Chain A
Amino acid sequence: MNFANRIINIENNPRCTLECSICKRTTYFHLNDTKNVPGIDLSLKDFKKCLDFFKKEVIFCGQLSDPIFNKDFIEMLKMCNDNKVVTRINTAATGRKEQWYKKAFLANPNAKWCFGIDGPPHLSHLYRKNQNGEFLFEMMILAKEMGLKVYWQYIVFDFNEKYLEDCKKYSKLLKIDMMVMYSQRSLKGIGDFKYE
């Protein structure tokens, strides 16, 4: 197996401010009666080992966390840019300030950011519990204005299905690409949606 040619999906810390009901993190909380998941922040030393090996693409997409909370994340983004590695970030949590996002976007202008905002920003917290959807939406627009490639990821649920067409029009107006996702996260069966 040539593992060096594979895309690496890195969970760079164990923290998240959200409590999305179907997230593995929340499952872990319920199964273990805890509010923490085990793990540590990925160090720059260990991240460099990854960049020395994986040359194709790095994805920061937490399975149990959100990548923005690693203390050295901005430096990691810069390292990816310096190494010319394709970089993707999937984020939905809030808790960082606007200034932090500006630094992050400047650290790697070639990174592709995917923002998980499920529905109109003011309603996204109905699944993304604790999320400040309106702030995150502003950060998505900021990234777009700073010239980064951004995606608006919209998981379709019962509560936001009726807003989907309006949000599609809005994304067109903003010239932001959209990823509409039908997922097992919804309590409704995938086959119950009219998605075609």
Chain B
Amino acid sequence: MNDKLKSYKAELTFPDKSKNELKPKCIFENQELTLSSMGYFTPCCWVDDELYRNQPWIKTLFKEHLKLQNNEKVEDIFKSKEWTDFYNMLRNNPKDAPPVCYKFCSKGVVTDKKIKNVANKDNQITTVIKH
């Protein structure tokens, strides 16, 4: 590992799959889908990251034929074998899920939490913890 990657060690540390249960926010919560400037959709913004893009399953979502520019309709992308297989895996065989999914969507991992909300007649001040 080179020096630059060492400085991102925290980013590369993943929870132990055998000890964690996966609860994907893209299935069980209202996680936003992402469209990158490369033209690829991903189930969340976390997997659209060069640190994780080569992980199993994730890399299948970055095939040329899945680019928005190469499809007439968005639904054709989500009906693709790659997207269908990805969600079948998450639902039916989550132990196969890539490490990045466990990092952000292990049961109990909080990535966004509202901790305080103060509203008055002039404005509202919301305090949140975000990953």
Are A171 and B123 in contact, with the CB atoms below 8 A? yes
Question: Chain B, interface size: which category?
Answer: 35 or more
Return the contact of A180 from the options B7, B51, B74, B127 (Cβ within 8 A): B127
With contact pairs A175-B122, A180-B125, A195-B115 given, residues A46 and B37 touching in the complex (Cβ less than 8 Å): no
Contact with A along B20-34 (1 / 0, CB 8 A): 000000010011111
With contact pairs A195-B115, A196-B115 given, residues A30 and B37 touching in the complex (Cβ less than 8 Å): no
Question: B109 contacts which chain A residues (CB < 8 A)?
Answer: none
Contact residues, A153-189 vs B (CB, 8 A): 168, 171-184
Are B37 and A40 in contact, with the CB atoms below 8 A? yes
With contact pairs A50-B74, A182-B127 given, residues A3 and B33 touching in the complex (Cβ less than 8 Å): yes
Are B36 and A181 in contact, with the CB atoms below 8 A? no
Return the contact of B78 from the options A1, A50, A176, A195 (Cβ within 8 A): A1
Chain B residue with the shortest CB-CB distance to A12: B37
Give the distance in Å from the alpha carbon of A24 to the alpha carbon of B131 in the complex: 13
Are A1 and B36 in contact, with the CB atoms below 8 A? no
Contact with A along B95-131 (1 / 0, CB 8 A): 0000000000000000000011000101111111111
Give the distance in Å from the alpha carbon of A175 to the alpha carbon of B71 in the complex: 45
Question: Chain A, interface size: which category?
Answer: 35 or more
Measured between C-beta atoms, what is the minimum distance from A53 to chain B in Å?
4
Question: A184 contacts which chain B residues (CB < 8 A)?
Answer: 130-131
Measured between C-beta atoms, what is the minimum distance from B60 to chain A in Å?
16
Contact with B along A29-69 (1 / 0, CB 8 A): 01100000111111100100110111000010011110000
Are A28 and B38 in contact, with the CB atoms below 8 A? no
Give the distance in Å from the alpha carbon of A63 to the alpha carbon of B47 in the complex: 11
Question: A14 contacts which chain B residues (CB < 8 A)?
Answer: 37
Are A179 and B126 in contact, with the CB atoms below 8 A? yes
Give 18 new A-B contacts, CB below 8 A, not counting A3-B78, A6-B30, A40-B38.
Answer: A3-B75, A7-B33, A8-B34, A27-B8, A31-B4, A31-B8, A50-B35, A52-B73, A53-B75, A64-B37, A172-B125, A176-B123, A178-B123, A180-B127, A181-B128, A181-B129, A190-B129, A195-B115
